[in-house]
Chains A and B, each alone.
Chain A
Amino acid sequence: MLLRHTTKEIKERKALTINPAKTCQPIGAMYAALGIHNCLPHSHGSQGCCSYHRSTLTRHYKEPVMAGTSSFTEGASVFGGQANLIQAIDTIFTVYDPDVIAVHTTCLSETIGDDIPQIARKADADGKIPGGKYVIHANTPSYVGTHVTGFATMTKAMVDYFAESKGPKIDQINIIPGYVEPSDMEEVKRILSQLGIKSVMFPDTSNVLNRPQTGRYDMFPKGGVTVEALRTTGSSRATIALGRLASGPAARALDSKCKVPCEILELPIGLLATDAFVDTLRRVCGVSVPESINNERGQLLDIITDMHQYFYGKKVGLVGDPDQLISLAEFLVSIDMWPIYVVTGTEGKKFESKIREITRDVPHEVKVVAGGDMFLFHQWIKNEPVDLMMGNTYLKYISRDEDIPFVRFGFPILDRVGHSYFPTVGYRGGMRLLEKILDALLDRNDRTSPEESFELVL
């Protein structure tokens, strides 16, 4: 057994986290910053933070992930990191020449209280920031929130630093896609283009973290939202934010800063959440939904109706991030699956009540915890197993020990490819999720069913 020490008996823990279902804020800020064109994320702290974040993002995307670090030593930790950050700004603009340096803080620089805007002003006064270049920042202490809130904070910083409401409104909307894969961002843009809607998406990691192999490496690839486009977000007609936790703060900031009205929706994962997304687009932008989208919806629904017998009543355990889990749980409930264990490492009472509301008609006890860990999740499973688990790669240890079918979903996925190329949002994303769920369930069935009931046609 891999997780041989996980006990069936559950003891209350107040201080010890075992096998976390979350990580820290700065990595989310780094991921968001990679969604700005010509931007180098910068970690203001010890160099280990930057190394860990780059490594984890690289393992997840199998793509270059570049970022700078202030490389704090003991001296900087005592006297403050101003000299380090100014040196970093000078070195980065001289050597790598990005348009934007997106600084995020760490537990170290937050504990000593470094003031990033003040340091950036000093760097500017010292002539270290060339004309037309920017240093933006987000406060992301690792002891507050999780990777999801770090993403939200850096996304909001894009509004704080760049959004302008000069001049007339522009016929476009803002889309804040949430902490999702580059493939998902691409898919959202495709849906918008099908509806004939002009938009600015931020951040946008498509063509950054799923870029092609061409034999040529550019530190700053084609993708990412440009500073110019970010400026115009203040003049857009509306903002649609996907995922309350990851995208809500930026949407509200645009509303209060530039009076751009916003709709904050759940991530469009699954039939109903995608329906809500498309319908909102239709209403807000005054467009009609084209036949191509109806077709995709119909195809998703077709899989659901064709294969309903394999979904019905299956118990599912979910681990992941709040925005994803809310939509995913709703999707599963909508096809008559039973998400009976739902764990996120990100704390929040609203999450628990939302999941309770979604699962209220599930004819089984549903355990849900925000701020939980995978050790507890595993203990629940030891007490009553599930038919399927969905979550990040770390679940594979439970999957193997307990012999439970497993679909990789969320962050990080360290051992499979596909997530950065094939979306799980939209109707097509829903189709891919169902394909994966069915593969996992039916492969298991084919492997273990008695010979006499082994079936050719399923």
Chain B
Amino acid sequence: MAPSKIDPAIEIEAIDPGALKAELVAKYPTKVGRKRAKQIVVNRVDECADIPEIGANSRTIPGIITQRGCSYAGCKGVVLGPTRDIINLTHGPIGCGFYSWLTRRNQTKPKGEGDANFIPYCFSTDLHDEDIVFGGEKKLKAAIREAYETFKPKAISIFSTCPVGLIGDDVHSVAREMKAELGINIFGFSCEGYKGVSQSAGHHIANNGIFKHVIGLDDTAREGKFKINMLGEYNIGGDAFEIERIMDNAGITLISTFSGNSTYDSFTNAHTADLNTVMCHRSINYVAEMMEKKYGIPWIKVNFVGAASTAKSLRKIASYFEDEELIERVESIVAEEMVEVEKVRLDVKARCEGKLAMLFVGGSRAHHYQDLFREIGMKTIAAGYEFAHRDDYEGRAVLPDIKVDADSRNIEELDIEPDPERFSPRKSEEALERLKEKGFRFKDYDGMMAEMENGTLVIDDISQYETEKLIEIYKPAIFCAGIKEKYAVQKQGIPMKQLHNYDSGGPYAGFKGAVNFWQEIDRMVNTKIWSYLKAPWQKAPELSATYAWE
């Protein structure tokens, strides 16, 4: 379909989201429909900031055609994949390692030729049937030895795939044994694909493992007045490079990023930071919580997607440190950066204002990218996450009310005590009070729905059917999701932007990222290429009886 010429705002007002929800649900078998009804919500934020409840982090309905992946993808692919100098060894048949090999566009920049970088490599034990029958531990040990002999890495991590759990390979005891034998850090993850209900379980398992086995191994205090960690930033398309640039300019020391452009050493040292800033709440809040309990590092939610959001997050970090010089420097950086940003924003806004966007992706991006669209006047009419929990939708206030079901209960919750020697509150009680009085909020995340307009649709774990129906009804100017959805959307004549891996673009974080993103959206929603869908003879199919020159 060609882009609609009718003012989208008028058309959209005629659509009753409640009726649309009923229509979506009616298509399913009764029980399936009942379940989907809980995961499809018409947003309504009332005066008391009450938000409707949404079903999330529950089992995917088999056969529905979901966007979701598995625990292994969340653990190996998302959280640990971006680190360059750990050998990530997949223990299982060849597929899982193959599919997660270089496909997420995590960039990394080694410091010189001597610096390790294993990201372009895929390591697997490539289990065969005899290993499934007789057990794969022996092969795993041999593979670790071979990896060590050839590469001499600082650390090796082992990722379990589905059959590993079923045949009872104990990757953790193998890791301990090989660690003792080889003298390097070796640790395992029980992130079998069937754990939990989505990638989210794998994030949690990755958080636990990295906290247990890596964070806190090196107490060396690094130089720097304002030391922070950036959590939940994976350097897709170079996002981390842009954030590093901004932090450098501001004089803020990034001790570690989890895990874009990161190294093993930066993880071991992360507990020496004075503040944890959380980008992707879903994938990494566990590490933030655990570091606070064990080491006394407070955490705050930040968002470096969107220029205004970047400025806001920088100010938040600066006000945490209560340092006038830093506060001033941040202000001058914002003022300086915003000149170019505003120029592009206003230019792009003139062509994009009033257009509709839909975002169905991830566990934080469907929220964060709404800021970027809002800044150029585009409205998010429907959004949802692929693997988020209720707190990512409704805000952390609902945490005590979330029922833990059997699938989540199977994921270990680490029992964390303050470290007897290294626990040190970064702020005094008075300082905390002072900050809170100024309106500063720790561990705050209000979720996606609080920032979405009333009457918009919020859909968790959207199905292919629902995707097609939404596009048919709303005809958005752009749809954002992942590679599996991309071409089905585009075949409907609607441009589709991948927000997992950005297609070929990026960075989209920070100030330069905002400019890149807007220029990309401008290209996508305003190009003439979508007007060629009909050939001349399809537009005017009448046949003339004679050749034109007769």
Point out residues on A near B: beta carbons under 8 Å: 1-5, 7, 11, 13-20, 22-24, 26-27, 42, 45-49, 51-56, 58-59, 62-77, 84-85, 87-92, 94-96, 106-108, 111-112, 141-144, 146, 211, 213-217, 219, 345, 375, 394, 397, 414
Contact at A17–B491, with CB atoms within 8 Å?
no
* Minimum Cβ distance to chain B for residue A341 (Å): 19
Among A19, A48, A74, A111, which residue has its beta carbon within 8 angstroms of that of B163?
A111
Judge if B321 is at the interface, Cβ distance under 8 Å: no
Contact: B73 with A52, CB < 8 Å?
Answer: yes
Determine if B516 is an interface residue (Cβ-Cβ < 8 Å): no
16 A–B contact pairs at CB < 8 A? A4-B117, A5-B151, A14-B142, A15-B143, A15-B145, A51-B68, A58-B484, A58-B487, A69-B63, A71-B66, A75-B407, A91-B64, A92-B63, A95-B465, A96-B464, A142-B94
Q: Say yes or no: B94 contacts A23, CB within 8 Å.
A: yes
Are A51 and B493 touching (Cβ within 8 A)?
no
Q: In the complex, are the beta carbons of A51 and B93 less than 8 A apart?
A: no
Q: How near does chain A come to B206, taking the closest CB pair, in angstroms?
A: 14
Chain A residues with Cβ below 8 Å from B118 are 5
Q: Do B142 and A70 touch across chains, with their CB atoms under 8 A apart?
A: no
* Residue contact B120 to A13, C-beta cutoff 8 Å: no
- In the assembly, what is the distance between CA of A73 and CA of B150, in Å? 37
The answer to the question of B541 belonging to the interface, with a C-beta cut-off of 8 Å to chain A, is no
Bound state CA distance, A211 and B492, in angstroms? 13
B410 contacts across to A, CB distance below 8 A: 74
**CB neighbours of A48 from chain B (8 A):** 69-73, 96, 193
Q: Which of B12-20, B128-136, B234-242, B440-448 contacts A (4 or more CB under 8 A)?
A: B128-136
Tell me which of B25-33, B294-302, B329-337 binds A.
B25-33
Q: Which of B98, B123, B127, B482 has the most CB of A within 10 A?
A: B98
- Size of B's binding interface in residues, CB under 8 A: 96
Q: Of B60, B102, B486, which is within 8 A of A71 by CB?
A: B60
Chain A residue at minimal CB-CB distance from B533: A215
- The 9 tightest CB contacts between A and B, nearest first, are A48-B70, A24-B95, A88-B63, A46-B193, A15-B142, A91-B63, A52-B99, A142-B93, A88-B62
* B59–A107 touching, CB < 8 Å: no
| A16-B95 in contact given A95-B28, A143-B163, A217-B488 (Cβ < 8 Å) | no
A214 touches B491 (CB 8 A): yes
What 4 new A-B contacts, CB under 8 Å, besides A17-B123, A49-B193?
A: A16-B146, A71-B62, A74-B410, A107-B162
- The distance in angstroms between the C-alpha atoms of A141 and B59, with both chains bound, is 24
Is B473 an interface residue when CB atoms closer than 8 A count as contact? no
Set A15, A19, A95: member contacting B121, Cβ < 8 A: A19
Nearest to A59 among chain B residues (CB) is B483
A289 to B133, CA, bound (A): 53
**Chain A residues near B66 (CB-CB < 8 A):** 47, 69, 71
Nearest A residue to B62 via CB reads A88
Q: Which residues of A contact B1 (CB under 8 A)?
A: 215
Q: Is B41 an interface residue (CB 8 A)?
A: no
Chain A residues with Cβ under 8 A from B192's Cβ?
A: 46, 77
Q: Which of these, A4, A46, A54, contacts B70 with CB under 8 Å? A: A46
Contacts of B195 in A (CB 8 A): 74
B147 at the interface (CB under 8 A from A): yes
Q: Which of B482-539 contact A (CB under 8 A)?
A: 482-484, 486-493, 530, 533-534
- B residues 26-67 with Cβ under 8 Å of A? 27-29, 32, 59-67
* Interface pair B483/A55, CB less than 8 Å apart: yes
Q: Which residues of B contact A49 (CB under 8 A)?
A: 70, 95, 193
Choose one: B28, B62, B113; the contact of A4 (CB below 8 Å): B113
Residues of B within 8 A of A414 (CB): 103
Judging by beta carbons under 8 Å apart, are B149 and A11 in contact?
yes
**A3 with B120, Cβ < 8 A, contacts A17-B94, A51-B73, A111-B167 known:** yes
Contact in complex: A3, B121 (CB < 8 Å): yes
Given contacts A15-B146, A111-B167, contact A59 B117 (CB under 8 A): no
| Chain B residues closer than 8 Å to A7, beta-carbon distance | 150
State in angstroms the CA–CA spacing of A309 and B104 once bound together. Answer: 42
Residues from chain A with a CB closer than 8 A to the CB of B488 are 64, 66, 217, 219
In contact, B62 and A84 (Cβ under 8 angstroms): yes
**Hey, which bits of chain B sit against chain A, CB under 8 A?**
1-2, 27-29, 32, 59-73, 89, 92-103, 110, 113, 116-118, 120-129, 131-132, 139-143, 145-147, 149-151, 161-163, 165-167, 192-198, 406-407, 410, 463-465, 468, 482-484, 486-493, 530, 533-534
B120 touches A213 (CB 8 A): no
Cross-chain contact A77 with B162 (CB below 8 angstroms): yes
Known contacts A47-B60, A47-B69; decide if A23 and B487 are in contact (CB<8 Å): no
CA of A248 to CA of B340, assembled, Å: 62
Measured in the bound complex, the distance between the Cα atoms of B60 and A48 in whole Å is: 12
Q: Enumerate chain B residues within 8 angstroms of A22, measured Cβ to Cβ.
A: 94, 98
Please determine whether A91 and B125 come into contact, CB atoms closer than 8 angstroms.
Answer: no
Q: List, in ascending order, chain B residues with CB within 8 A of A143's CB.
A: 93, 127-129, 131-132, 163
Q: Are A62 and B487 in contact (CB under 8 A)?
A: yes
CB contacts (< 8 Å) of B95 on chain A: these are 23-24, 26-27, 49, 52, 107, 142
- The answer on a CB contact under 8 Å between B487 and A64 is yes
Nearest-Cβ distance from residue A415 to partner chain B, whole angstroms: 9
- Among B63, B72, B116, B151, the residue within 8 A (CB) of A87 is B63
Contact of A91 among B2, B61, B97, B143 (CB under 8 A): B61
Instruction: Give the distance to chain A from B87, nearest Cβ to Cβ, in Å.
Output: 9
Contact assessment for A16 and B464 in the assembled complex, using a CB-CB cutoff below 8 Å: no
**Closest A residue, CB atoms, query B73:** A48
Contact status A11-B146, CB under 8 Å: yes
Q: Nearest residue in A to B411 (C-beta to C-beta)?
A: A74
Among the listed A45, A62, A75, A95, which residue makes an inter-chain contact with B162, where contact means beta carbons less than 8 Å apart? A45
**A59 adjacent to B103 (CB under 8 Å):** yes
Q: Which residues of the partner chain A approach B125 to less than 8 Å between Cβ atoms?
A: 15-17
Contact A107/B161 with A20-B126, A65-B484 known, Cβ cut-off 8 Å:
yes
Query: Which B residues are CB-close (under 8 A) to A219?
Result: 464, 488
Most A Cβ at <10 Å: residue of B63, B64, B464: B63
A287 to chain B, nearest CB (A): 36
Whether A75 and B406, one on each chain, are in contact in the complex, defined by CB atoms closer than 8 angstroms, is: yes
Q: Smallest Cβ distance from B359 to chain A, in angstroms? A: 19
Cβ-defined contact, B162 with A111, below 8 A: yes
In the assembly, what is the distance between CA of A74 and CA of B122, in Å? 27
CA of A4 to CA of B151, assembled, Å? 10
Picked from A54, A62, A77, A144, the residue with its CB within 8 Å of the CB of B484 is A54
| B102 contacts across to A, CB distance below 8 A | 394
User: Could you tell me if A96 and B59 are in contact, using CB atoms closer than 8 angstroms?
Assistant: no
Contacts of B143 in A (CB 8 A): 15-16
Q: Which residues of B contact A141 (CB under 8 A)?
A: 93, 129, 132
A14 contacts B146, C-beta separation under 8 Å: yes
Closest partner residue, chain A, to B100 (CB atom): A52
Closest chain A residue to B202, Cβ basis: A48
Q: Which B residues lie within 8 Å of A88 (CB)?
A: 62-63
User: In the bound complex, how far is the Cα of B165 from the Cα of A54, in angstroms?
Assistant: 24
Inter-chain CA distance A106–B96, complex, in Å, is: 11
Task: Kindly state the separation between the CA atoms of A13 and B486 in the bound complex, as whole angstroms.
Answer: 40
Docked CA distance A88–B28 (Å): 12
Q: Which residues of B contact A92 (CB under 8 A)?
A: 63
Q: Which residue of B lies closest to A1 (CB)?
A: B113
- Most chain-B Cβ atoms within 10 A of its Cβ — which of A63, A67, A91, A414? A91
Chain B residues within 8 Å of A76, by CB: 194
